[in-house]
Amino acid sequence: MNRAHNFYAGPAVLPFEVIEETRDAVYDFNNLGVSIMEISHRDKAFDVVIQEAQSDLLNIMKLPKEEYYVLFLGGGASTQFAMVPYNFLLNEADYIETGYWSERAVKEAKITGKTNVIATAKETNFNHIPKNFNITPNADYVHITSNNTIYGTEWKKWPETGNVPLVVDHSSDFLALNHNFSKASLIYAGAQKNVGPAGVTIVIVKKSWVEEKSRKEGYTMLKYKTHIDKESLYNTPPVLPIYVVHRTLKWIIKQGGLEAIEANNIKKASLIYDLFDAYPEFFVGAVKVKEDRSLMNVTWNLPTPELESKFIDEAKKLKMLGLKGHRAVGGIRASIYNACPLSSVEALTKFMEEFHKNNK
């Protein structure tokens, strides 16, 4: 198969071997004579899939199963914007605002209770990660968005929050860096950027926090305890997306775990950022602080909108897809998630060099 160079921001590129495995499972899962899309979510064969995915995920993240739950839920990360405060915002919560999606998280939290924006980069069009902030001493939690797909910024190190629980929307750089995940009390991520297709949201939550602090009464589907008690099977889960996640986690382990994944992501991103540094008047990076540059979503402008359109059109002819920047900011964006091959980034940077030469 002649694969295109996939730079879409999400749904996004998946490991090709996972696509092949999923193709086969869609036709005949485990030689059972039924598709993975047809099997009961309570069948023992699927139970192996979801149990292995939970175990593999905690092993990859170096989190003890005695201390953390793993949930596979529907509704996307946008539902988590509401579920997190619904379960844990009892007095007040702190949010650090770093882009469009963190703004939406703040909006949902304000519906539930007192929400403090303790730092924001809005005044500079979210071109950096704010480093100076004071955490409210009695806050129920501090919420961050680890990577910002639209603006191209990323927390390379998560903030220290002391005794205040940290909540991380990890959607667009999930399992891309080798973080100390134990710093967080809750991590959530839509799968469609880095570990699967759209349709499943992963939640990793500290058992003690749920048991001691979470809401016990209220809407059944919005309580984490509901899904914990039923092991993500309270209602029919997104079976096919969970299967893809299961296979992608196996792929990550096969690559050498997060140490190898992070090293490869740094290598890929550096190829593009090196061109920013070499030709700063032509490839104008949207992120102004180098340490805040995302490894996942590389954003830039060219000297004119006309050149940007030309760049995108010529790239399409070379089967480089998904390079148009988000409609909110324009410009150009290359999303180079875990499964984006080094060869695709090399092809892109070669094209960028040639485009500069011909249009400078």
Residues tagged active-site: 101, 169, 193
The residues with which 244 forms a beta bridge, in sequence order, are: none
What is the C-alpha separation between 126 and 153, in angstroms, rounded?
8
Please identify which residue in the block is written with the tokens 């990360």: 77
What is the C-alpha separation between 73 and 202, in angstroms, rounded?
6
DSSP-derived 3-state class of residue 3: coil
Of the candidates 206, 157, 202, which has an alpha carbon nearest to the alpha carbon of residue 180?
Answer: 157
What is the C-alpha separation between 284 and 86, in angstroms, rounded?
41
N- to C-terminal Cα separation, the chain: 35
- What one-character DSSP code corresponds to residue 151? T
HEC-encoded secondary structure of 291-354: HHECCCEEEEECCCHHHHHHHHHHHHHCCEECCECCCCCCCEEEECCCCCCHHHHHHHHHHHHH
Distances (CA, A) of 252 to 13, 14, 61, 245: 14, 11, 11, 10
